[in-house]
Amino acid sequence: MTNWLPFRSNRIVHYRNFDDGKKYNIVSVCIEVTDKDEPRNSRAVIEKLIPYLSEPSKFERKCNFPSEETSRFKASEIAECERLAQLAESSLPVSKPHTVPQPDPKPPHIADKFTLEKAFKGTGFTRQKGQPNWLSLYACVDERGFLYEAYVQKLTVTNDFRVWVEISGYNFKIATDMKDYYVTEDGESLVILKQFAEFCVRLRGEYGKTLAEIFGETPAWYYEQPF
């Protein structure tokens, strides 16, 4: 069941969802942006809502564009996803999925925090908090305003892990395919993860220039938290 209460001024929309007897409220604040350098301050809007709605538990930001620009961005996303897939295929180790029995009852250390910190040390990618213990995220924002997110996921099988990269700006989001690796020896995952981290650095430095030519730079206000 959904109730809509639209407000025309700055288009603040409030609706309620009921799911399995649990009620939660979602407020969507839509602020019109002109061609000026900075939009109207979303922080001020959210701060005025907090006394009535309590502290938000989740925040998301999304920008809408004219239909012709949206179509161009979507077409460019598809083309760049293909290009990014080719870059990953040529730069990362060949996938090695779990196809043979585990040779040792004592599994090696794979993709643990120590190994990940060593692999990403000095890259400018920092470990992000709030992830479950089976998923690690290292991220950074470059000088063009693009967000690079490097994911490392431990799979259900003890010796397996998966990696992929997502790159986004205020008008695009692209990602590599997921690549799985099965390791049998200590230290083996570090070698793979170092190559993965180096690949992420190259994307930020070289591929980021290409993305800026296609999508333009993402403005600094896009990543500012409103509360």
Helices and strands (DSSP H and E) totals, the chain: 5, 9
| Mean residue pLDDT across the chain | 80
> Contact 123/197 with Cβ under 8 angstroms?
yes
Question: pLDDT of 134-147, one tens digit each?
Answer: 899 999 999 999 99
Mean pLDDT of all residues in 196-212: 95
Q: Which residue has the tokens 């061609």?
A: 35
Instruction: For residue 61, give the amino acid letter.
Output: R
Q: What percent of the chain is predicted at pLDDT more than 90?
A: 49
> What b/e readout covers 31-55, taking b as 16+ CB neighbours within 10 angstroms?
eeeeeeeeeeebeebbeebeeeeee
Q: What percent of the chain is predicted at pLDDT more than 70?
A: 70
Q: Alpha-carbon distance 220 to 84, whole Å?
A: 24
Dihedral angle computed from the Cα positions of residues 69, 171, 212 and 164, in that order, rounded to the nearest 10 degrees: -130
User: Which stretch of 32-41, 44-53, 103-112 has the lowest confidence by average pLDDT?
Assistant: 32-41
Mean pLDDT of all residues in 7-14: 44
Instruction: Answer whether residue 82 shows pLDDT above 80.
Output: yes
Mean pLDDT of all residues in 96-124: 78
Count, residues in the chain: 227
pLDDT score recorded for residue 130: 84
- Farthest CA pair distance, the chain: 65
Instruction: Answer whether residue 98 shows pLDDT above 60.
Output: yes
Question: pLDDT of 51-64, one tens digit each?
Answer: 777 776 666 677 87
- What is residue 89's three-state secondary structure? helix
Instruction: Answer whether residue 127 shows pLDDT above 80.
Output: yes
pLDDT band at 30 (very low <50, low <70, confident <90, very high): low
